[in-house]
Chains A and B, each alone.
Chain A
Amino acid sequence: MITLNRQNYRKLYVQLYDIMKKKIEDREWSFGIRIPNEQELCDDFNVSRTTVRSAILELVRQGYLTRQQGRGTFVSKKIESDKLTMFTTFGELMLDEGIDITTDVLAQTIMMPVDDLADKLNISGEKHIIFMKRLRKVDSKPFLIQETYVPFHKCPPLLEEDIQKNSLFELLEKKYGIHVTAVKNYFTIKNLNEADCMLLNLPDGSPSLVLTQHFFSGEDQIMYMHSIKRPDNFVYFIEFEKIDR
């Protein structure tokens, strides 16, 4: 049995999340079955109920599990796409050229991973990270706050690049030859904090669309991006392209 490593820098619930996710992906827990209850999981993995609950919540949030009141937690039925890879184009947030968009670089500096950032980037806690924060404007009206985190060792010169004019994506791909092979996207709606509302010219506590993106190059995660979009005038589209393998 896979066990949790308490010396590991990754949080316990994240480790448990990974183990449970693997069980689902390997069909050890097949689609539609009820998974063991919280107490059984606590005993199996020798962890607290909070850890189990956090791992389950995250799996529910990512769509792997569904909870049914009074019945238990079940593995979600999924539509298989074995021979079909979806290629996704981001029309909105990748920001097409040609639209009159200006960018204010609010930060381009170095920090260490705090809170759950090390987990989000899948790196250990003593690695330096390049932190970039940009405010995008259309006709000088702010519409997007973009916070980007890149492990320093993945691309040190990024710290000194002109990120006001250049797209990060293009810099990574064209200048540094780091090819993005996959992007995982999570959407949520959040009530914004005071500082973000001020930047976006919104009343305190306004709800807004938050997109978090994990960028991968092969197995390596190279970038984590947190984008907050003003809720008005908003059309988001995702384009799927069928690729034959």
Chain B
Amino acid sequence: MSTEKVVKDVMIDVFEYPHVPYWFTIKQAIMVIKKSVIGTEKCIHPMAVLVFDEKYNILGTLTLNDILKGIESKDKAESPVSEVMVPAKFFVAPEDPLSKAADLMLNNNLVLLPVIEEDKKKFVGVVRMIEVFDELTSNI
């Protein structure tokens, strides 16, 4: 393999994804998904909502799966999304090799990974399994 690609080469803009603060209810998150994704041309894969705190730090991700699991008991729809999201525990930096992103995703069963600039703790992008897969399989 020639020079290995790094995360920033394949990451996508965070604004491709809907954002919600952690205090939104599951019901509100469902409305957001319906408005942002279902019924618009834009359909991003994997479908997820990013969950942030008051200071725009990423707290977690919310997939359709998480929501459906969350509303199995009906009264849960008014609970905050923070109760059903998958907390963001793993991050990569823009200069990290893609293989690191792949490792983290495979070992932790993740479909996307937040990209954080380490010095400023700034959330700059999202790396998805689809690009990682494409890149790592390009020489096969």
Tell whether A152 pairs with B36 under 8 Å between CB atoms, given A109-B52, A109-B54, A114-B31: no
Q: In this complex, which of A109, A115, A128, A152 has the most chain B Cβ atoms within 10 angstroms of its Cβ?
A: A109
**Residue numbers in A under 8 Å from B37 (CB-CB):** 126
**Residue numbers in A under 8 Å from B31 (CB-CB):** 114-115
| Cα separation A159 to B123 with both chains bound (whole Å) | 12
A128 and B54 form a contact (CB under 8 A): no
**Residue numbers in B under 8 Å from A110 (CB-CB):** 19, 52, 56
Tell whether A111 pairs with B19 under 8 Å between CB atoms, given A9-B35, A118-B35, A126-B36: yes
| Cα separation A226 to B24 with both chains bound (whole Å) | 18
Tell whether A108 pairs with B35 under 8 Å between CB atoms, given A114-B28, A126-B18: no
As a 0/1 sequence over residues 131 to 150 of chain A, the CB contacts with chain B under 8 angstroms (1 = contact) are: 10100000000000000000
A128 and B15 form a contact (CB under 8 A): yes
Tell whether A112 pairs with B52 under 8 Å between CB atoms, given A107-B21, A126-B42, A128-B15: no
Give residues 30-69 of B contacting A (CB, 8 Å). Answer: 31-32, 35-37, 40, 42, 52-56
A207 within 8 A of B: no
CB distance from A106 to the nearest CB of B (A): 6
B28 and A115 form a contact (CB under 8 A): yes
| Cα separation A118 to B35 with both chains bound (whole Å) | 10
| Cα separation A133 to B35 with both chains bound (whole Å) | 24
Tell whether A126 pairs with B19 under 8 Å between CB atoms, given A108-B56, A109-B55, A114-B24: no
A112 and B20 form a contact (CB under 8 A): yes
Tell whether A107 pairs with B28 under 8 Å between CB atoms, given A112-B35, A152-B15: no
CB distance from B53 to the nearest CB of A (A): 7
**Residue numbers in A under 8 Å from B55 (CB-CB):** 107-109
| Cα separation A109 to B54 with both chains bound (whole Å) | 6
| Cα separation A128 to B49 with both chains bound (whole Å) | 12
A125 within 8 A of B: yes
Tell whether A159 pairs with B56 under 8 Å between CB atoms, given A9-B35, A112-B35: yes
Q: In this complex, which of A112, A114, A118, A131 has the most chain B Cβ atoms within 10 angstroms of its Cβ?
A: A112
Give residues 140-172 of A contacting B (CB, 8 Å). Answer: 152, 159
A125 and B36 form a contact (CB under 8 A): yes
**Residue numbers in B under 8 Å from A133 (CB-CB):** 54
**Residue numbers in A under 8 Å from B15 (CB-CB):** 128, 152
Tell whether A111 pairs with B56 under 8 Å between CB atoms, given A9-B35, A125-B36, A126-B42: no
| Cα separation A18 to B115 with both chains bound (whole Å) | 43
Give residues 1-27 of B contacting A (CB, 8 Å). Answer: 15, 18-21, 24
As a 0/1 sequence over residues 91 to 134 of chain A, the CB contacts with chain B under 8 angstroms (1 = contact) are: 00000000000000011111111110010000011101001010
Chain B, Cβ-Cβ closest to A159: B56
| Cα separation A124 to B18 with both chains bound (whole Å) | 13
| Cα separation A114 to B40 with both chains bound (whole Å) | 16
As a 0/1 sequence over residues 68 to 101 of chain B, the CB contacts with chain A under 8 angstroms (1 = contact) are: 0000000000000000000000000000000000
CB distance from A107 to the nearest CB of B (A): 4
| Cα separation A174 to B84 with both chains bound (whole Å) | 42
CB distance from A17 to the nearest CB of B (A): 20
| Cα separation A124 to B32 with both chains bound (whole Å) | 11
CB distance from A45 to the nearest CB of B (A): 23
B28 and A131 form a contact (CB under 8 A): no
| Cα separation A9 to B40 with both chains bound (whole Å) | 11
Q: Which residues of A contact B (CB under 8 A)?
A: 9, 106-115, 118, 124-126, 128, 131, 133, 152, 159
A111-B24, A114-B31 are known; give 17 further A-B pairs, CB within 8 A.
Answer: A109-B52, A109-B53, A110-B19, A110-B52, A110-B56, A111-B19, A111-B21, A111-B52, A112-B19, A112-B36, A113-B35, A114-B24, A114-B28, A115-B28, A126-B37, A126-B40, A133-B54
